[in-house]
């Protein structure tokens, strides 16, 4: 009888201690979550959409400058300035022609760019408009850039029409960079965006 009573008492004490530990753990977890939310709220400005607008200077086929901001057109990849391609058995300066294509689309118009991500060089990744023209999609549709996380339908149409660089043979710009400079750039897709979000939120640059 006494043994049963002592056993029941010990079980009750054990349950009470376990309940206290669980309660302490729950309080601690709640505190950690609150601190994490406060930290993230304090860094939301890092991922706020930025808008840049004005007269643009075209740097190459997928990069331009607005004021002090260097902007990389998001979701596309144009031939590098020094890159050459082949057409009708001859080489031509497709990198410079891609830059000229972007110049022609801008044509002195007021340019507006919106984005929040930055690439490894600190350039703002953005969708840009010159008047009613979305420069990102227009360059891919004209065949002077390839899809790089977006605009796959425009690329398919340009390839079918043999427009721009699709009229001959070329290396994709990312392959050309890897071969000639060893530079690697993340594709502008959902996975890359998630990684950039985490890096922006926690300052992992």
Dihedral sign of CA atoms 73, 192, 189, 163 in order: positive
Residue 97 is given by DSSP the state H
Catalytic residue among 52, 74, 80, 171: 80
* Annotation says 87 is catalytic: no
| Cβ partners under 8 Å of residue 83, min gap 6 | 94, 95, 170, 171, 173, 176
| Cβ partners under 8 Å of residue 103, min gap 6 | 58
* Nearest CA-CA partner of 147 in 132, 168, 166: 166
Q: What separation, in Å, do the N-terminal and C-terminal C-alpha atoms of the chain show?
A: 68
Residue 192 is given by DSSP the state H
**Token pair of 28 as six digits:** 């601690």
* Annotation says 155 is catalytic: no
Catalytic residue among 52, 70, 72, 154: 72
Catalytic residue among 70, 118, 123, 129: 123
* Annotation says 123 is catalytic: yes
| Cβ partners under 8 Å of residue 200, min gap 6 | 43, 46, 47, 116, 117, 118
Q: Residue 84: left if φ>0, alpha if ψ -120 to 50, beta else—which one?
A: beta
Which residues have a catalytic role annotated?
72, 80, 123
């Amino acid at each position: 009888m006494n043994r049963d009573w002592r056993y029941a008492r010990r079980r009750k004490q054990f349950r009470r201690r376990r309940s206290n530990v669980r309660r302490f753990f729950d309080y601690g977890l709640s505190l950690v979550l609150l601190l994490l939310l406060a930290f993230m709220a304090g860094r939301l400005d890092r991922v706020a959409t930025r808008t840049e607008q004005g007269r643009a200077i075209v740097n190459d086929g997928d990069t331009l400058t607005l004021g002090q901001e260097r902007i990389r057109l998001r979701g596309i990849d144009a031939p590098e300035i020094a890159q050459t391609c082949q057409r009708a058995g001859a080489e031509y300066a497709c990198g410079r022609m891609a830059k000229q294509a972007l110049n022609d689309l801008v044509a002195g118009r007021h340019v507006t760019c919106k984005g929040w991500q930055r690439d490894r060089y600190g350039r703002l990744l953005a969708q840009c408009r010159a008047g009613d023209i979305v420069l990102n999609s227009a360059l891919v549709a004209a065949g002077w850039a390839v899809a790089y996380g977006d605009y796959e339908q425009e690329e398919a149409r340009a390839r079918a029409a043999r427009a721009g660089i699709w009229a001959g043979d070329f290396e994709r710009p990312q392959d050309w960079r890897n071969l000639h400079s060893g530079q690697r750039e993340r594709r502008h897709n959902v996975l890359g965006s998630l990684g950039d979000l985490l890096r922006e939120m926690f300052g992992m640059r």
